[in-house]
Structure 1
Amino acid sequence: MKIIHAADLHLKKFYKGRLPLEISNKLLEDTWRTFRDVANFSNEVDADIFLIAGDLFEREFFYLRDLRRFLNIIEDIKAKVFLVFGNHDYLSKDNLFLKVDLPENLYIFNSELDFYELKDLNTRIYGISYDSYKFKKDFSDVKLDKNFINIGLFHSDLKDERYMPLDEKFLREFNYVALGHIHKRAKVFNNAYYSGSLISLSFKDEGERGIIFLDDEKKTIEFKNFSRREFINLEIKIDKDMTFSEILKKVQGKISTENLYRITLKGVSHNKREIESFLRENLSAFYFEVINEITEERNLDFEIKDKYILDLLGTFSNSDIERDAREISKNYILEQYYGI
């Protein structure tokens, strides 16, 4: 038996913040293309079961034409597809999936825990969908039939009471638990995993993204990377003696043109604002933001005009002690005399 475990596609996600519309649209299309890639992979490996663990789409922005596009992909998948809805796509009466005919290979769980039995695989798939943004159920009385392979499909935050937390005893009853909601993939127990979001959705989602692939014949559970591009937080240290061209070369050398970058500039320079402007005008990337945390070195000759004060500070030698004393004196004068 072979199983695909995916979650948190967030189809038609609205990207808040600084991202321009052109970039947002490309990211939205990335999700569709990646899901198609996963569907093709499922067929290539002859998967039996395809699990989607919630937050398939964003309710506010997902329309009938989007549903038809999704169902067209589902129809091409040879495996049986199982879907639960989470907090972003919960199964209320106005959910679009309740208004159309679904492909025969797609099964949707309702808002009460239930199972679907695959007799030829001696397997039961258990699942439950949210019916509102916040959702909680008690599964303490649930008993599984150990004569079957039992698989759980849940959208859950194990530590947040708002999003159907599940206790360890319940989870360990299953042969495998496919979890959604947390965007970073993680192993919870030997039998329970978060697959993470299908693609990176923000600068909080660093690292590769994709699915979990289970091959019961080989006894393997492995992550499969389907990333098209990544959100990367990049810190660049600026030396005060670096030229603008050297800074650009340093930053550009760390950038792949397909990824999105949040670049934090650190270090000391006389040209804090000029460096940022130069990078914005000359850096080549799919998308980047600049956070300028450069410390602007005070130029003594520029900031202090009084000849007598300059002469006084010039009397300090270059020994470590006197150099420190000169810096303390300079800063005191700037603060007290110039209000800087």
Structure 2
Amino acid sequence: MEEIKKNDDKILSAQNVHTTFRTHGKSVKAVRGVSFYAGYQEILAVVGESGSGKSVLMKSILGLMPENAEVTADQILFMDKNILEMTPEQQRKMRGKEIAMVFQDPMTALNPLRTIGFHLTEVLKRHRGMDKRTARKEAIAVLEQVGISSPEKRLDQYPHEFSGGMRQRVLIAMALCCRPKLLIADEPTTALDVTIQAQILELLKKLQDETGMSIILITHDLGVVASLSRRIMVMYGGLLMEEGLTEEIFYSPKHPYTRALLQAIPKPQAGDRKRLEPIPGMAPSLIDPPDGCPFAERCKFACEQCEKGIPKYRVYSDTQRAMCIFSAEELDARERKVD
């Protein structure tokens, strides 16, 4: 894979990441050579259907994979420190303290037998060396920061006494306890209703503005990131299909998969009563991934050449590139023929 451009403003950069699971005598190639970066004080969105490799890529960066996973990369840099050269102990100290992750599904991510206060103070005592009293005081402040009322009372309650949105705020508070430089939010709005989703996203943006931390937001919903992210990475079949500024992705998408995702988003404000276009078929199996473009089987523009090998990236600007054999102009022409 081609390397991404050198940039002094990167807080995290990775080159040629591969992640393979060995299970039942078979190999699942979940991530197949992805290069990307996240900038200082920016919100980067990673989007794609379930199974595209988004969460696996980020967990691979953090070393949070199970024993049957094999992770390789040419280089993974966090604030100019090579994660691949760190000892397991150094990686553990980095996780939580400098890079924090909010895991998906707030309904099951907290230990039901422990109070909210235990979850927060344990992080503070372990990573910031606080005593019990200081940790409790800091935990109250962090709960206030994420918008939870009566934090003193809430510390002594259990997860089942919190709604889904409140639990998600607790998970974000746990991540913020160590004042990380980078926050990875994995599907932070999953299983939440639309109103609560908006509140959680607004909270993330507010916290990013206040603290200056970088955020990587993993989601399968492009509509979620429209007003939040600065840049977007689109993944499919373990590969990075397209990346660019949010405006470029929404108003000038270059890859057929990105276009298909956008066409499947309801647009009630448009007023043209245009029917949604679902993406036909299923995502390819990554036990035996196709030799060519993984989206070719579902792509209405695909030709025989698409199946012969993984396409090289077409670079459209300093910020936008797409993995497709067709240029944007050629896709537009084919779109007119299909219509």
**Normalized against structure 1, the TM-score is what?**
0.29
Query: Comparing both structures, which one devotes a greater share of its residues to helix?
Result: 2
By relative contact order (CA 8 Å, sep 6+), the higher-ranking structure is: 2
Q: Pick the structure with greater CA Rg.
A: 1
TM-score (norm 2): 0.30
